[in-house]
Structure 1
Amino acid sequence: MTQAPTPQTRGECDVAAIARLFGDPARARILMALADGRSLPASVLAAEAGVSPSATSGHLAQLREAELVVVERSGRHRYHRLARSEVGEALEALAALAPAQPIRSLREHTRAAALRNARTCYDHLAGRAGVEVTAALVARRALETVDGVPDTRRRDGDALSAQLPAHPYRLGPEAEPVLGALGVDLDRLRAQKSRRPLLRFCLDWSEQRHHLGGRLGAAMLTAFVDRGWVTRTRRRRVLDLTDRGARALHDELGIGSAGA
């Protein structure tokens, strides 16, 4: 009688192996180009990384082997995207620890300011806009804190990482009407079958306050884009808040001024 195979015992996580992949400047630029959840061809990624197409192909092969990036085919074309949301959140975590690159031109200064104002953190809203929306959801009791701290400030125990392992928030008593006014159908979202949590929060690297992620954060950004409140730009990860969006966020959440 043959014995059943003994389950393989897993050792400690090999953080160094992943760190080596993130640590190469060209691979880091490739990953950051994909951090907003888009699928991009290798030619675009080569331009973003500043390396040759053959070098880009080698970097992408390593990222695919590590299951950080996957390929999607559309006809004869191949597009690359991050394999899962956790990869984008890890990039945001590293951004919180990384030193800022020196700004050498007005163009770089403009883009850096735009990133801090409104950007994607994989598939949800981050930057000043992200933390202000999250704070307004707490103020309007769509979200409520469970740790006694009345706002979204960084807690003493928070590590400098994007994804909080345990978050001090839950849905509040006004969640359905407040989120409904923003275009989010909470009942439909709850009914979705997904391994991804409904609520997840990140420590925003530029604001050092919490912003909303998870399925709810993704649904909210999708609603904002669909309503024309924010638009995606050609600048990597940067979002533009439209005049319509500024008025809507003022009317619904009290953010900014009506004429912003």
Structure 2
Amino acid sequence: MDTVDELADLAALLADRTRAAFCVALLDGRAWTAGELAAHAGVAASTTSEHLGRLVAGGLLAERRQGRHRYVQLANQQVAQLIEDLLAHAKPAAPRSGLRAASASAAMARARTCYDHFAGRLGVGITDAMTAKGYLSRTDGFALTDTGFAWLTGPLGADGPRLRATRRPLSRPCLDWTERRTHLAGAAGAHVRQHFQAQDWVRRIGTTRAVQVTPTGATALRDLLGLDVADLG
């Protein structure tokens, strides 16, 4: 029964709305302070400390201290994948009311980060374009082709040996919870996101996970992948 108990304990950690809100917020890949998470979830600092303690003890979050500040983030990429997979399998929420809420939801669906890679219509669009270019093969699994590896280490400037040496999969499908289709994750997906943001092709919108493609980025997407940003809606 040990395995059953462990599963039940994990489910209990995520069954609380406040703890679930913390985990979803941390899908942006950044480290947050307890105060920032408290403000985000609209709960008291004392309540936040208790919830974070449980999430850290349960292995879902990792914490570090810098000076007087305590920062927390998702423990690893596997936890991020678990949260995103659960979101993808959850019952779709009813459309949010109000112009501001609807605009925020639309921005998240259009383009966002999923821990360390792109998601939403942008993530799915990049994945489809890479497949059309022959950079990704989805015929038997989900694999970066030799041509795709050359593209990643050429125009996108990835360190080939370092990519090969990483313990995480080079390419992995991640089920997108808004599009209900797969987007690119793994080391390749992380490098695409990192490179796009470093080149200022994509910028974060405020403090959310939503991102927007810059005019320079729109040109780059068209030149590199034949992807028209207008098609993302």
TM over 0.5: yes
| Residues matched between the structures, number | 230
Pick the aligned partner of 2:70 from 63, 68, 78.
78
Q: Secondary structure at the match of 2:118?
A: strand
Matched, 1:47 2:19: no
Larger Rg: 1
Matched, 1:145 2:145: no
Q: Secondary structure at the match of 1:128?
A: helix
Cα gap change, 1:229/1:202 in structure 2, threshold over 3 Å: closer, same or farther? same
Q: State the one-letter code of the partner of 1:80.
A: V
Task: Name whichever of 48-57 and 94-103 sits farther off.
Answer: 94-103
Task: Name whichever of 101-110 and 48-57 sits farther off.
Answer: 101-110
Pick the aligned partner of 2:142 from 169, 172, 187.
169
Q: Secondary structure at the match of 2:65?
A: strand
Matched, 1:190 2:163: yes
Q: State the one-letter code of the partner of 1:71.
A: E
- Which residue pairs with 1:233 in the alignment? 205
Q: Secondary structure at the match of 2:30?
A: coil
TM-score (normalizing by structure 1): 0.82
Q: Percent of aligned positions with the same letter in both sequences?
A: 41
- Which residue pairs with 1:205 in the alignment? 177
Q: Partners of 1:215 and 1:257 in 2: how far apart?
A: 24
Quote how far apart the aligned CAs of 1:89 are. Answer: 1.4
Q: 1:1-12 residue pairs with structure 2 within 5 A?
A: 11-12=3-4
Q: Partners of 2:225 and 2:49 in 1: how far apart?
A: 46
- Which residue pairs with 1:110 in the alignment? 103
**Per-residue displacement from partner, 1:46-82 (whole Å, max 9, x unpaired)?**
0112110000000000001001111122122111111
Going by fraction, where is helix more abundant, 1 or 2? 2
Q: Partners of 1:240 and 1:188 in 2: how far apart?
A: 31
Q: State the one-letter code of the partner of 2:34.
A: A
Task: Name whichever of 248-257 and 171-180 sits farther off.
Answer: 171-180
- Which residue pairs with 2:215 in the alignment? 243
- Structure 1 gaps of 5+ residues are 1-8, 148-167
Counterpart contact for 1:184–1:220, Cα < 8 Å? no
Q: 1:119-130 residue pairs with structure 2 within 5 A?
A: 119-130=112-123
Q: Over the residues paired in the alignment, what is the CA RMSD in angstroms?
A: 2.1
Q: Partners of 1:182 and 1:204 in 2: how far apart?
A: 26
Q: Partners of 2:96 and 2:208 in 1: how far apart?
A: 16
TM-score (normalizing by structure 2): 0.91
Cα gap change, 1:173/1:254 in structure 2, threshold over 3 Å: closer, same or farther? same
Q: Partners of 2:219 and 2:125 in 1: how far apart?
A: 14
Counterpart contact for 1:36–1:88, Cα < 8 Å? no
Q: State the one-letter code of the partner of 2:125.
A: E
List, as ranges, runs of 4+ consecutive aligned residues in structure 1 with deviation greater than 3 Å: 9-13
Quote how far apart the aligned CAs of 1:30 are. Answer: 0.9
- Which residue pairs with 1:131 in the alignment? 124
